[in-house]
Amino acid sequence: MRTKNFAYHLLALFVIAATVLSACGGGPVATEAPVVTEAPVVATEAPVVATEAPVVDPMADLVAAAQAEGTLTTIALPHDWCNYGEAIETFKAKYGLEVNELNPDAGSGDEVEAIKANKDNTGPQAPDVIDVGFAFGASSKAEGLIQPYKVSTWDSIPDDAKDAEGYWYGDYYGVLSFLVNTDVQPEVPQDWADLLDPKYNGQVALSGDPRTSNQAIQTVYASTLANGGSLDDAQAGLDFFADMNAAGNLVPLIANNGLVATGETAVRITWDYNALAAVDSFEGNPKAEVVIPATGRFAGVYVQAISAYAPHPNAAKLWMEFLYSDEGQTIWMKGYCHPIREGDMRERGVIPADLLAKLPDVSGAVFPTLAQLDAAKALITANWDSAVGADVQAAP
């Protein structure tokens, strides 16, 4: 009995010992635990998140290169033209560059001549960028005066308003209008034909010299449409201004808002954005009105380009990026201009409603083709002296 019990207890002790040893062995549990082997996976994934977090500014290199140049030289950008004053100051503050402003009252022809005259000059008289009439873009390209550059918003610029290779691109457009100082002339003209009335004797002025200024050339062209001519023949415009000059109504001065304010030129023919900005600046003194003529509504597109001889090419490119951004286009609109990317911005709903409400009704305005503009420009500049005989010059 003792032997059996002993054997029984011995067997029990063996089983217990085996069980304890099996449980205490624990090796397989430790080696199979996934925590140790998976921990490095978590650690290797963390840096991937860290490297993706920073947002790389695609403009960073251009901004740095422009800031290294330090300066942008512009020409023919009056601060009250298309709200360029705000555009220039915003650009300076945004990027820390200086802006050297040449001859704010120059015409498109003067801008082109400035490039030609400073081809070998890297000094302060050499413009980096130009803002010229539509017809001057292609001619400047043909003469090798400008260089190509496509802004990042290139695709949203209408194809018919840009050079396919990026040498020039439309920036904004306006419609020709009459700015009238009603303190001096309370009877406001409503159409082109009214400007021949004797009541406007010595009161009507152009906003440039029709032999060189895009705005003045297109003013003569626009009057063609209201006087029996067409977009294909601008002769009627020359005849109209010849009659105005003979009547003594045309003042041979290049009009600006200051001359309108003093009454020296009571009626200024200018783009609607210039006229509307003038009324704001007058603040009721003098009283003034803006009229979009009933007939001969003419839309003029201006274009931007970078000089082929730009002393500050990177600053010039950065300027273009700024102007063609939503911010730059909105600044132009605040100056009553119709920015070239307006259609795209309307579709995306990014234009403030108050800006849209301020723009005048220009329905029916016509947009001549480049070929028509070139033909009109050639006719008007070549025949102004012989047909009209008014030596339009800047005020002394």
Lowest mean pLDDT among 32-36, 87-91, 176-180, 239-243: 32-36
Residue length of the chain: 396
pLDDT surpassing 70 at residue 11: no
Q: How confident is the model at residue 382 (pLDDT cuts 50, 70, 90)?
A: very high
Exposed e or buried b for every residue in 257-295, given b needs 16+ CB within 10 A?
A: bebbbeebbbbbbbbbbbbbbbbeebeeebebbbbbbee
- Whole-number mean pLDDT of the chain? 88
Peptide bond into 158 cis (omega under 30): no
Closest CA to 359 of 281, 271, 287: 271
pLDDT surpassing 90 at residue 375: yes
Rounded CA gap, 184 and 261, in Å? 10
Domain spanning 174-299+374-387, CATH class: alpha beta
CATH 3.40.190.10 range(s) for the chain read 60-173+300-360, 174-299+374-387
Exposed e or buried b for every residue in 205-221, given b needs 16+ CB within 10 A?
A: bbbbbbbbbbbbbbbbb
CATH code linked to domain 60-173+300-360: 3.40.190.10
Q: What is this structure's pTM?
A: 0.73
Structure token digits, residue 118 = 């400073």
Please tell me the predicted confidence (pLDDT) of residue 290: 97
Please tell me the predicted confidence (pLDDT) of residue 3: 38
Please tell me the predicted confidence (pLDDT) of residue 154: 98
Please tell me the predicted confidence (pLDDT) of residue 27: 37
CB atoms within 10 A of CB 315: 29
For every residue of 141-193, DSSP letters joined together read: HHTT-EE----TTGGGS-GGGB-TTSS-EEEEEEEEEEEEETTT--S---SGG
Closest CA to 109 of 82, 83, 143, 79: 143
